[in-house]
Amino acid sequence: MPDEAGAGEPRSRERKAGTATPTIAGIGLSLPPAAKQADLWTDYFRQHFPASARSLAERIFAHSGVVTRQACVSPLLEDVSDWPTEKRMQRYLVEAMPLGKEAVTRALTDADLSINDIGLFAVCSCTGYVTPGLDILLSRDLGMAPDTQRLFVGHMGCYAALPGLGAVGDYVTARGRAALLLCTELTSLHIQPSSTRFDTQQIVAHALFSDAAAAVVVVPEGRGYALAEVAAVTDTATADLMTWDVTDLGFRMGLSPKVPQVLSQHVRTLVDDLLARHGLHRSDVDGWAVHPGGPRILNVVERELELSVEQMAASRETLAEHGNCSSPTVLLILERLRRRARPPERIVTLAFGPGLTLYASLLLRTP
């Protein structure tokens, strides 16, 4: 079992630079209280949307693929829709700290490491900003050494876990020391005010998004999933199709219905090229972790990659049980795959976000 945070000597020593194979050795999740999608609609959102949009909104909620989702600040208990951004950011700090700490502690326990083994601590979040940041405040509360390096990745949105994983993986390879990645999102703080304006994009956003924290420990070698590669493609010509704007009333999502069409143009080439560089084909992959940006996005990926219902099951199950938690979501799916009775040998993760950006990674199970 790991030592208490801040106690004991580091268990792992630095290895020769550039010789390590970054491997996911531990995952930890932290989920706020959940609510049923039907209750969220009946007891809050039915009255929140204008009468002219209510029929459409009810259909969107019913066909979102979400059955339950989590919220640190549930609209069934507390309506934040008219809060100014300053108040939302103050609450972000209050809620994000314990959520992140729990996820990190569980990931370290899962990896059987101490906090003193960590050389780099990276945090991804796009739903709140504080300075000093979560990376510094959690480092303090967890008892990390003063020379622990830190990295904060903000405003990358739903795909942030994969470039975050790439960054910590590069550190592990270069330094031969373990690294820790935390993704924490509190989308519940950004419910927008009720409006008389018909806004389908806000209806979709309010029907999908959820809160969660997920942490992964990456080590130079050992049992787990080796990070073979992280790959990306960004279509900057479609940058306006997915946005996350800071307003006086929280952060406002822009989500064009054209997003699935853009994904369909790029996802097959991205995945096939990634696999080809490792001598693999789609048929060699037995685990798929596809970020559930919504049911239409999952449908497009399933069609373009010619995946079966079974291959998409982990992504759809995660959407149903947790909603779209932004950056932690792909890690929730990875943990679901990893905990199967027969864990996959090869996993492809996919996530999408502003840019319009597609990210992918290839994970190989170690002996």
Question: Of 219, 250, 284, which one is at a domain's C-terminal end?
Answer: 219
259 within domain boundaries:
yes
Question: Of 167, 202, 219, which one is at a domain's C-terminal end?
Answer: 219
Residues 85-127 have pLDDT tens digits of 999 999 999 999 999 999 999 999 999 999 999 999 999 999 9
Residues 84 and 214 in one domain: yes
What pLDDT sits at residue 367?
84
Residues 209 and 230 in one domain: no
Q: DSSP alpha helices (H): ranges in the chain?
A: 37-40, 46-48, 54-62, 85-111, 134-142, 161-175, 200-208, 259-276, 295-304, 313-322, 329-338
Question: Of 198, 219, 240, which one is at a domain's C-terminal end?
Answer: 219
What pLDDT sits at residue 310?
97
Residues 129 and 188 in one domain: yes
Contacts of residue 292, Cβ cutoff 8 Å, sequence gap at least 6: 65, 298, 315, 316, 318, 319, 324, 329, 333
Contacts of residue 132, Cβ cutoff 8 Å, sequence gap at least 6: none
Burial degree of 295 (CB within 10 A; 0-12, 13-18, 19+) = middle
Please, how many CA atoms are within 13 Å of residue 193, restricted to the half-sphere of its CB?
Answer: 11
What pLDDT sits at residue 196?
64
Residues 293 and 356 in one domain: yes
Residues 198 and 300 in one domain: no
Contact present, 283 and 249 (Cβ < 8 Å): no
10-residue mean pLDDT profile of the chain (367 residues): values are 42 53 97 98 95 93 98 97 97 98 98 97 97 96 97 95 98 97 98 82 95 98 96 96 94 93 97 98 98 97 98 98 98 97 97 96 95
What pLDDT sits at residue 198?
66
Question: How does DSSP assign 165-204, residue by residue?
Answer: HHHHHHHHHHH-SEEEEEEEEEGGGGPPPP-SS--HHHHH
- CATH number reported for the structural domain that contains residue 145 in this entry: 3.40.47.10
Smallest CA-to-CA distance from 152 within 114, 122, 126 is with 122
Residues 115 and 150 in one domain: yes
CB atoms within 10 A of CB 341: 4
243 within domain boundaries:
yes
Domain count, the chain: 2
Residues 95 and 156 in one domain: yes
Full domain range(s) for residue 163: 23-32+71-219
